[in-house]
Amino acid sequence: MTIRSRVLEALGTVYDPELDEPITSLRFVTSCDVSADGDVDVRLRLPTPQCAPNFAYLMAADARNAVRRLPEVRDITVLLEDHYTGDEINAAVGRGEAFAEAFPGETEGELDTLRELFQRKALVARQSRVCEALLAEGATEEEVVALGVADLPDDRDGRRCVELRALLRIASDAAFVRPDGEPIAAGDLRHWLRAARLVRTSLEANGGICRSLLRVRYDLEEVAA
């Protein structure tokens, strides 16, 4: 494996916090250059110049941190291009500074609460897809709520559920939990699913609009999501 492919692999672990999809599959990574000495230059782009600065900062900072962890990487530059707060974000990320330092006086705190809010939404959305698939295969509500974490499928949604649960430090072993981590009772499953499906639809529709806008903005070919 070349350094570049390891860098790309690292970038694939960086998620758009709002859409819960890797920035690589969203095509937010414009370019990734690695010099012979291990200096890395990553360029990022977003669907609009006005995408929310807080999420934009998180993606740029997360990208830098993910790549920096690779021992073979010497120096790293991450630049967010074509964004109306790109200068502030790039300067702060380049110096390894926090979000509040990128926008002095314009924040009350850091972005942990915001990130966590969207991790909870993402978990709801992922669980709803897994749950619907199980019900469609004929599982009963009692069977579904009796499942544990180890029973989650080994696919993209199942694996991401496990990751999100770890990030959110969810203690319960139940496969399906509410955003606050509490297990769902069999009698509540259908109601929970109705609301969870709305969260998922919202995330998917936003992802669709973002992909469409990025495609128009940078004149890209359509690819399968």
Partner 1 sequence: MYEHNGDKYFVMDGHVHFWDASPANWVKGQEQFAKGWIECFHAYQGLGPPDTHWPIEKFQKYSEEDFVKDVFEDGHVDVGLFLPTYLKQWYTEGFNTAERNARMAEKYPDKLIVNGRWDPREGEPGLKQLEEDAKRYGLKGVKLYTAEWHDGSRGWKLTDPESQFFLEKCQELGIKNIHVHKGPTIWPLDKDAFDVSDVDHVATNFPELNFIVEHVGLPRIEDFCFMATQEPNVYAGLAVVIGGLMHARPRFFAKVMGELLFWVGEDKMLFASDYAIWEPKWQVEGFVDWNYPADEAYSDYPALETEGKKKIMGLNAAKLYGVEVPQELQLPPEEADEPAARDDAQLVEDRA
Select from 8, 52, 73, 139 the one that contacts partner 1 (CB under 8 A).
52
- 100 or 149: CB nearest partner 1: 100
Residue 46, CA distances (Å) to 1, 8, 24, 176 in order = 28, 18, 12, 33
Task: Tell me if 54 contacts partner 1 by CB under 8 A.
Answer: yes
- 4 or 194: CB nearest partner 1: 194
Of 150, 134, 137, which is closest to residue 186 (Cα–Cα)?
Answer: 134
Which parts of 127-166 interact with partner 1 (CB under 8 A)? Answer: 128
State the sign of the Cα–Cα–Cα–Cα dihedral 21, 24, 30, 36: positive
Select from 10, 15, 18, 20 the one that contacts partner 1 (CB under 8 A).
18
Q: How far is the CB of 197 from partner 1 (least distance, A)?
A: 8
What is the contact mask toward partner 1 in residues 30 to 49, using x (rule: CB under 8 A)? -----------------xxx
Instruction: Please state, in angstroms and rounded to a whole number, the distance separating the CA atoms of residues 10 and 153.
Output: 24
Task: Tell me if 91 contacts partner 1 by CB under 8 A.
Answer: no
Task: Tell me if 108 contacts partner 1 by CB under 8 A.
Answer: yes
What is the binding site for partner 1 (CB under 8 A)? 18, 47-54, 84, 99-100, 103, 106-111, 113-114, 117, 121, 124, 128, 178-179, 188, 191-192, 194-199, 201-202, 204-206, 208-209, 212-213, 215-217
